[in-house]
């Protein structure tokens, strides 16, 4: 009888090493580190200043193991997602008990993805108890971090990206009395559904959703128009369990929610079933029309902001599907058109944009980079901050307002005129016509200029050239001449043949060469034909370019 073997035993990374401290397996190799003090080998007794204390046993924390390599170097292992040993990408932990002027190197040795923005300009985030705002580690310190000067009371926190935990979202009052009443009036016709944070390791989606809601409840003219004419429904966090546990993609049961929309069950995916039932209720109600489903995500392989959409066989249906992303491109900063994709591939079959659309509903996946963006292709790399993500959410709301104004669902802005703006600077008073003094040279009789030749005339090589007008700078026929070229009239002007070789392309343009003043026929013949190549590769007969086909 064969013994029972754990299929995932080979994937376990939480095994106690010979140099680990006694507390390194305090979580039994299954969870995050809980105030682990890593001592050097052979040290016993009370920990000294400089023996780092790692902690990730809090909301959104992720650090499974810490090994002491040298006095200045530590190997850190990311805890994989629940029931998904290959999903190891998100990390969030704190470090304390450091001493003054201590330098350390943290090696995160088991990242699950190889091609990420870390290969470009993206760097991890760090903050301390005295500096509460997340900041990017400088690029020159990507592989190590020098601790700041402290007095023993500061704790450094490291994270893959900007953090927005589930508890903060639950405690924050986003909508207040009158605003909540206005947002939930179901008397309008058009409905927009916004989904966010289906993956725990994508905090930018929560910041984008936060910026969208902040703009929606503001006193802006566009926000008022959206509240009065459109029903906006938001699901700010689809995967609260995964966010709380610090998982990158999976939830409490190990499921990737953005791949289970087509196979969702009430037991394993209650959040997806609730959203599906809500969408069916909206589509079944006569007074409502669901227009858009926008799923917010973050990406670790691209820069800027872009969208993923669906492709349709009907060209008119696809054109209507691509209208809203065009309005987003006009509003969102650093929009990456080359990264936008519309497909029906099998890998994204269970995603929200593939499974939720019904009939005329348009579903999109809006992705923002976890790293940063470039305003111009060759411009500097700018890291995304919390304010930058919230600005993307405000731009998304403005793009929706522009779209509904374009299709006349929202009335145009009151008081908007097409008055031409005057240029900045000193404004001169326009004098009446009778006060203006006209110089003698400005009279209509003096404005006619003589014809100016741009270049000396060439000898006529073909009778067809006689019909062309002279090459002058003020000839109206040249300015209105179409850009297309009639090849039947152009080819007879070329005398000889053009033979294209791997490195050589020679055309005999003897008709365009000016007739020399010298009357020696040998000089004319040498000038009319290009010189024969002297390189041995082009001296054979197969590369001969001087034979005429006349």
- Please tell me whether residue 459 adopts helix, strand or coil conformation: coil
Shared domain for 254 and 353, answered yes or no, is yes
pLDDT at 278: 94
Whether the per-residue pLDDT at 234 is higher than 90: the answer is: yes
Please give the average per-residue pLDDT across 336-358, as a whole number: 90
Backbone angles phi, psi at 474, to 5 degrees: -115, 25
Instruction: With a cut of 60, say whether residue 207 has pLDDT above it.
Output: yes
Q: Are 135 and 175 in contact (CB under 8 A)?
A: no
pLDDT for residue 59 is more than 70 = yes
Q: Is the confidence at residue 41, as pLDDT, over 70?
A: yes
pLDDT per residue as tens digits for the range 380-428: 889 999 999 999 999 999 999 999 999 999 988 765 555 555 555 555 5
Residue of 156 and 49 predicted with greater confidence: 49
What pLDDT score was predicted for residue 155? 57
| pLDDT value of residue 463 | 52
Indicate whether 139 and 226 sit together in one domain.
no
Residue 255 within any structural domain of the chain:
yes
Identify the domain boundary among 406, 423, 452.
Answer: 406
Per the structure block, which two tokens stand in for 129?
């108890």
**Same-domain check for residues 246 and 288:** yes
Same domain, 240 and 124: no
Nearest partner of 82 among 273, 244, 301, 270, judged by Cα? 244
| Residue scoring higher pLDDT (118 or 508) | 118
Cα–Cα nearest to 260, from 365, 158, 351: 351
Same domain, yes or no: 262 and 216: yes
What is the per-residue pLDDT for 400? 96
The arithmetic mean of pLDDT across residues 203-217, rounded, is 94
Residue 190 lies in a domain: yes
Calculate mean pLDDT across residues 254-268.
92
Judgement on whether residues 150 and 215 belong to the same structural domain of the protein? no
280, part of any domain: yes
Give domain status of residue 476, yes or no. Answer: no
Question: pLDDT exceeding 90 applies to what percent of the chain?
Answer: 32
Q: Percentage of the chain surpassing pLDDT 70?
A: 60
Q: Are 38 and 68 in contact (CB under 8 A)?
A: yes
What is the Cα–Cα distance from 103 to 147, expressed in whole angstroms? Answer: 6
Are both 240 and 381 inside the same structural domain? yes
* Mean of per-residue pLDDT scores for the chain: 73
Q: Give yes or no: residues 256 and 360 share one domain.
A: yes
550 belongs to a structural domain:
no
Across residues 165-174, what is the average pLDDT? Answer: 48
Please give the full DSSP string across 281-322, using - where no structure is assigned. HHHH-TT-EEEEEEEEEEESSS-SEEEEE---SSHHHHHHHT
The CATH number given to whatever domain includes residue 387 is: 3.40.630.10
Residues 329 and 362 reside in one and the same domain:
yes
Q: Using 50, 70 and 90 to split pLDDT, how confident is the model at 5? A: very low
Return the higher-pLDDT residue of 131 and 271: 271
Residue 414 domain flag: no
Domain of residue 399 covers 181-406
Same domain (yes/no): 238, 140? no
Residue 205 CB partners (closer than 8 Å, separation 6+): 196, 197, 198, 199, 296, 297, 298, 368
Contact 543, 501 (CB under 8 A): yes
**Residue that is last in its domain, among 406, 431, 452:** 406
Residue (of 236, 239, 217, 235) closest to 226 by Cα position = 217
What pLDDT is stored for residue 379 in this prediction? 85
Residues 396 and 302 grouped into a single domain: yes
Look at the chain and report how many structural domains it folds into: 3
303 part of a folded domain: yes
Question: HSE (CB half, 13 Å, CA atoms) of 286?
Answer: 0
Which pLDDT value is given to residue 367? Answer: 96
| Strands ordered across the beta sheet of 36-37 | 36-37, 53-55, 92-96, 156-159, 125-128, 135-136
CATH of the domain at 92: 2.60.40.3120
Q: How much is the average pLDDT of 355-374?
A: 91
What mean pLDDT is predicted for residues 148-172?
53
Query: Does 189 share its domain with 94?
Result: no
pLDDT band at 210 (very low <50, low <70, confident <90, very high): very high
pLDDT of residue 99: 86
**Does a structural domain hold residue 146?**
yes
pLDDT tier, 134 (very low <50, low <70, confident <90, very high otherwise)? confident
Band (82; pLDDT cuts 50, 70, 90): confident
Domain boundary residue among 341, 374, 406?
406
């Amino acid at each position: 009888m064969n013994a029972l073997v754990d299929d995932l035993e080979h994937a376990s990374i939480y095994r106690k090493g010979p140099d680990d401290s006694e507390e390194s397996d305090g979580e039994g190799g299954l969870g995050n580190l809980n105030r682990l003090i890593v001592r050097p080998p052979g040290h016993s007794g009370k920990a000294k200043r400089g023996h780092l204390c790692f902690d990730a046993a809090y909301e959104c924390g992720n650090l499974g193991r810490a090994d002491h390599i040298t006095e200045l170097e530590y190997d850190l292992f990311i805890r994989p997602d629940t029931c998904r040993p290959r999903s190891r990408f998100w990390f969030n932990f704190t470090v304390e008990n450091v001493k003054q002027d201590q330098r350390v190197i943290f090696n995160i040795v088991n990242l699950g993805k190889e091609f990420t923005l870390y290969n470009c300009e993206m760097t991890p985030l760090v903050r301390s108890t005295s500096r509460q705002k997340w900041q990017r580690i400088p690029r020159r310190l990507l592989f190590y971090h020098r601790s700041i000067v402290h007095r023993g009371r500061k704790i450094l926190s490291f994270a893959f990206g900007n953090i927005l935990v589930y508890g903060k979202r639950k405690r924050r009052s986003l909508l207040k009395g009158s605003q909540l009443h206005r947002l939930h009036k179901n008397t309008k016709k058009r409905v927009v559904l916004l989904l966010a944070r289906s993956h725990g390791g994508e905090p930018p989606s929560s910041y984008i959703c936060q910026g969208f809601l902040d703009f929606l409840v503001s006193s802006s003219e566009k926000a008022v128009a959206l509240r009065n004419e459109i029903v906006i429904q938001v699901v700010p966090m689809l995967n609260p369990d995964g966010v709380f546990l610090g998982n990158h993609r999976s939830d409490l049961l190990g499921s990737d929610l953005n791949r289970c929309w087509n196979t969702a069950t009430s037991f394993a995916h209650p959040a997806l079933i609730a959203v599906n039932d809500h969408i069916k209720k909206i589509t079944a109600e006569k007074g409502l029309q669901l227009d858009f489903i926008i799923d917010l995500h973050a990406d670790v392989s691209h820069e800027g902001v872009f969208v993923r959409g669906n492709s349709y066989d009907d060209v008119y249906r696809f054109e209507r599907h691509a209208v809203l992303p065009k309005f987003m491109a006009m509003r969102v900063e650093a929009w990456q058109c080359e990264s936008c994709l519309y497909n029906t591939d099998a890998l994204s079959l269970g995603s929200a944009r593939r499974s939720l659309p019904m009939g005329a509903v348009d579903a999109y996946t809006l992705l923002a980079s976890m790293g940063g963006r470039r305003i111009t292709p060759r411009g500097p790399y700018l890291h995304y901050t919390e304010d930058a993500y919230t600005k993307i959410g405000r731009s998304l709301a403005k793009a929706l307002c522009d779209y509904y104004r374009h299709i006349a669902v929202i009335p145009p802005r009151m008081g908007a005129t097409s008055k031409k703006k005057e240029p900045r600077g000193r404004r001169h008073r326009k004098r009446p016509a009778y006060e203006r003094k006209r110089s003698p040279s400005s009279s209509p009789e003096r404005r006619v200029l003589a014809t100016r030749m741009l270049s000396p005339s060439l000898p006529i090589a073909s009778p067809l050239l006689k019909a062309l007008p002279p090459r002058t700078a003020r000839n109206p026929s040249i300015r209105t001449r179409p850009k297309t070229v009639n090849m039947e009239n152009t080819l007879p002007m070329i005398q000889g043949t053009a033979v294209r070789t791997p490195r050589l392309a020679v055309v005999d343009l003897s008709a365009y060469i000016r007739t020399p003043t010298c009357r020696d026929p040998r000089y004319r013949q040498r000038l009319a034909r290009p010189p024969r190549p002297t390189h041995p590769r082009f001296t054979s007969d197969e590369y001969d370019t001087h034979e005429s086909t006349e």
